[in-house]
Amino acid sequence: MSHPLPQTKNLKPRVLVGVGGGIAAYKVCEVVSQLFKTGVEVRVILTRSAQEFITPLTLATLSRHSAYTDDLFWQANHSRPLHIDLGEWADLLVIAPMTANTLAKLACGMADNLLTNTVLASTCPVLLAPAMNTDMWEQLAVQRNWQHLLTDSRFHGMGTASGLLACDRVGNGRMAEPQEILAYIQSLLHTKGQRDLLGKQVLISAGGTREYLDPVRFIGNPATGKMGLALAQAALHRGANVTLVHGVTNWDAPLGVQAIPVINAEEMQQVMWEYLPSADVIVMSAAVADVKPQDYSPEKLPKRSLPTALPLEPVPDILASLAQLKQPHQRLIGFAAQTGDIITPALEKLQRKKLDVIVANPIDQPDSGFGSDNNQAIFLDNQGRHEKVPPCSKLQMAHHLYDFVISNLS
């Protein structure tokens, strides 16, 4: 039975997922399912060994399209070679899990099955998500193949995580989680695989700070740090070296990002100052508290001892201090979360704090601002440029911001 691919171009992005033979193949079901739900056209290739872990029927059901296997590849009933059709069709190729065997083949330019033939017959970006036993991953030959493959700008590699492996060993070699893979896919579809922040140092603050009255009570805000997380992901996917300074959050930093947790504004300022000299781009997306209790009790205060009027004092203005310390080649970006008129106070903040760019975003609009997965904003810079970004995911917002900034980045 032939499985023709549509030849007419449409507006939907096209992602081809190659599944290798490993227990992590079960995670690919979530990736394929979510891609389809977000409007992506998705097709799947399974290697012969992958079918020992997951069936073509499962992935065909999730992708709403027949899955491709080597048995289909060798049938001679296609008007054009299947690997050529697939390679030309894809906007992005994802290999997850990528085994040591497939890695070795790609590093050597081998093509002995449908997946490796399709890689060689395509020109689109390729995202690699390896998964294997720790000893296998750390073998000199495997690491040599990995590093060699990544010298080709087409290939984008996700790091492996540490944890409990299928062999019951705890160590490095776990495949990235589906949400991380999906975020990287979204980034590559936006950038077309371009690494326009390659070699740049990006310093980001994220989340809210907590200013404690006693060990259990604090002044804070609803910030979750999701915008800062998206900024870190987007910068990483564009080739940057990323340092993420964050308050208390309920998420893990992306693989490959240097994450530094802090609690209060003073701690955040000290870390931001420490990493500022080496940064090319500084994005202050954290929702820093404005004030803190004047007095701190190291023991929990009884309810009857709580003051009826709480003496407060200001916390350090981190953004203003960074603006005073930054060098001409650095770009400093601030955020202004506002209700009502968002432009006037944002412009005032841009000028008063001597920023390069400010992101004015409304927190009184549906599905926008604190805690939301989406955002909307107006970008303003010190050259008078502005750009309105309609509601979108926070990762898309992060990419739009970098697009805006990079055009003036030396």
Same domain, 371 and 392: yes
Report helix, strand or coil for 94.
strand
Same domain, 218 and 129: no
In 3D space, the residue among 320, 232, 313, 326 whose CA is nearest the CA of residue 276 turns out to be: 326
Same domain, 132 and 180: yes
Same domain, 146 and 261: no
**Structural domain boundaries enclosing 234:** 201-406
Cα 384 to chain centroid, rounded: 29
Unique residue bearing structure tokens 């549906």: 366
Same domain, 143 and 281: no
Q: pTM value?
A: 0.92
Q: Can you read off the two tokens belonging to residue 169?
A: 């060993």
Same domain, 269 and 180: no
pLDDT at 43: 97
Domain holding 119: CATH number?
A: 3.40.50.1950
Same domain, 152 and 284: no
Same domain, 273 and 337: yes
Q: Can you read off the two tokens belonging to residue 390?
A: 């309609």
Assigned domain for 74 exists: yes
Domain holding 365: CATH number?
A: 3.40.50.10300
Q: Can you read off the two tokens belonging to residue 362?
A: 């409304």
Domain final position from 150, 167, 191: 191
Assigned domain for 151 exists: yes
Assigned domain for 8 exists: no
Is 29 known to be catalytic?
Answer: no
The domain tally of the chain equals 2
Assigned domain for 364 exists: yes
Same domain, 210 and 185: no
Same domain, 136 and 285: no
Same domain, 391 and 262: yes
- CA dihedral sign of residues 124, 127, 132, 135: positive
Assigned domain for 1 exists: no
pLDDT at 78: 62
* Contacts made by residues 300-305, CB under 8 angstroms, sequence distance 24+: 300/214, 300/215, 300/216, 300/217, 301/213, 301/214, 301/217
Same domain, 154 and 245: no
Assigned domain for 164 exists: yes
- 21, 99 Cβ separation under 8 angstroms: yes
- 156, 95 Cβ separation under 8 angstroms: no
Assigned domain for 102 exists: yes
Catalytic residue among 29, 124, 167, 392: 167
Mean pLDDT per block of 10 residues along the chain (410 residues) reads: 49 96 96 97 97 97 95 69 93 97 97 96 97 93 97 95 75 90 98 96 97 95 94 97 96 93 97 98 95 94 91 95 95 92 92 95 83 92 93 96 84
